[in-house]
Amino acid sequence: MAITHEGPAPADRPQSTSSIWNDARFRGNVAQIVVVAVVALVLGAMVWNAQENLSNQRIASGFGFLNQTAGFGLNQTLIPYSESSSYGRALLVAILNTLLVAVVGIVFATILGFLVGVGRLSKNWMVRKVCTVYVEVTRNLPLLFHILFWYLAVLAAMPAARNSYSIFGEVFLNNRGVYIPRIVFGEGSLVGFIALAIAVVGVVVLNKWATVRREKTGQQFPAFWTSVALLIGLPLVGFALVGFPLTIETPVLKGFNFVGGSRLLPEFAALVVALSIYTGGFIAEIVRAGINAVSYGQSEAAASLGLKSGLSTRLVVIPQAMRVMIPPLTSQYLNLTKNSSLAAFIGYPELVQVFAGTTLNQTGQAIEIIAITMGCYLVISLATSLFMNWYNRRVALIER
C-alpha cells in the first residue's frame, strides 16, 4: 500500500465537499438529477393544471371512452369492425390502415428510388434525363399536391360503376376503385399452405447451403431460379394433391356497385401512389449519393477480377453504397409513415383521420386522443428506426 492517510478520515475532512464538487462525474450526476426533477415537476404541473381546467369546464376525461360504442362506419378494415365496435377497435383498425399504407408505400418508394437513382447514373442520355426530370419534379412539389392530384385526377378520369373500364371482364376500374377477382380457398387448402411453408424453409436452407458451397469450392449454384421454382412448384403440387379446392370469385355489378372479388379503395391507391412517387424522388437522390460515394477504384478492381458490370454493381458497389444509404433511408421511411397522415384530406381511414379526427370530435377528449395518437406514431417510428439500425449494424463496414 503506497497510500497513507494523514489526519482524519476523508469524510471528516472539511475540504472534502469541495473536492466532490470538483469531481466531473458527480457534478454531471447532480445536474442530471436536477434536470429530471425539473422536467418531472413541469410535467406534473401540466397534468395537474390540465385536470383542474378540464374539471372546471366540466369536460369528461380519462380513457374509459375507448370501450364505448363508436357508432360510425369505416370503409376499409383489415380486422372485423362494425358500427357497434368500440372506439378502441376503431383505433386498432386505424393503426393497421396506417401501417398498410406505410409498408406498401415504403416497398414501392424503395423500388422506385433504386431504379431512378441508378438510372440517374446511367450511361444512356435518355434514361439519365428522364430520371433527373422525375427527381426534380417530385421533390419540388408539396406532398399534399401529389396526393390531391392523384386522388382528383384519378377520380375525374374514371367512369362510374355502371360503365367501368374492364380488363377481360375480370378486373374493373371505376371511380370507386379497382376490383380484382379473389381466390377463395376451399376445404383442404391447408395442404397447399403447408407445402408453401415447406418451400419457404427449403429456400432458406438452400441459400445457406449454396453460399457455403460457393465459399468452399467456388462453384456457383443457380440458387435464385431454384428458389423461384420451389416457391411456385411445391404449393402447386400440394394443391394438386387435394384436387385444387380453389375457386375464383369475379366481381359482378349488382345494384350500385360491384359485389365479390377484392377491392382497392381509390383513396388507398391515390395515397400509396403519391407517397411512393414523392418519397421515391428523395430515395433516388440518396441512392445516387450512395453509389457516388463508392470510389471508382472499386469498380475497376471488380472489373480486373473479371466480374461483369451487373455483377460488380450487385456484389461490389451496392453493398458498399448501402452503408452510406441506410441512415438517410431510415429518415425517408419515417417521413413516409408520418406523411401518411395527410390522408385525412382525401378521406382514407388512417390514424389521424379516424382517431385524431372522427373519434376526437365524437368524444371531445382532445388531450387523451392526441396523447394516444402521438404515442402510436412514436412507437411506429421507434420500431422502424430500431429495425433500420439493426440492419445498419449488419451491413456496416467491419474492419479487421
Nearer to another protein, 71 or 319 (CB): 71
* Backbone phi and psi for residue 169, each to the nearest 5 degrees, phi listed first: 65, 15
Q: Which span sits near another protein by CB under 8 A: 182-190, 220-228, 279-287, 357-365?
A: 357-365
| Residue 341 is a binding residue for another protein (CB under 8 A) | yes
Burial of 138 per CB tally in 10 Å (0-12, 13-18, 19+)? buried
| Residue 181 is a binding residue for another protein (CB under 8 A) | no
Interface residue with another protein among 100, 104, 344, 388 (CB under 8 A) is 344
DSSP category for residue 69: B
| Residue 19 is a binding residue for another protein (CB under 8 A) | no
Residues in Cβ contact with 351 at an 8 Å cutoff, skipping those fewer than 6 apart: 91, 94, 95, 97, 98, 341, 373, 376, 377
| Residue 255 is a binding residue for another protein (CB under 8 A) | yes
Nearer to another protein, 313 or 358 (CB): 358
Nearer to another protein, 330 or 365 (CB): 365
| Residue 373 is a binding residue for another protein (CB under 8 A) | yes
| Residue 362 is a binding residue for another protein (CB under 8 A) | yes
Q: Which span sits near another protein by CB under 8 A: 183-191, 198-206, 320-328, 347-355?
A: 347-355
Shortest CA distance to 110 belongs to which of 373, 353, 340, 287? 287
| Residue 350 is a binding residue for another protein (CB under 8 A) | no
Cell of 58: 366540466
CA-to-CA dists, residue 226 to 20, 199, 289, angstroms = 69, 11, 34
What HEC string does 238-272 produce?
HHHHCCCCEEEECCEEECCEEECCEEECHHHHHHH
Binders of another protein among residues 76 to 135 (CB under 8 A) are 83-84
Q: Which amino acid is at 72?
A: F
Q: Which span sits near another protein by CB under 8 A: 7-15, 85-93, 155-163, 323-331?
A: 155-163
- Alpha-helix residue ranges (DSSP H) falling in 243-365: 266-293, 296-304, 309-312, 318-339, 351-353, 360-363
- Residue ranges that bind another protein, judged by CB under 8 A: 46, 49-50, 52-54, 56-60, 71-75, 83-84, 152, 155-156, 158, 160, 175-176, 254-257, 259, 266-267, 341-342, 344-347, 349, 352-353, 356-358, 360-364, 366-367, 369-370, 373
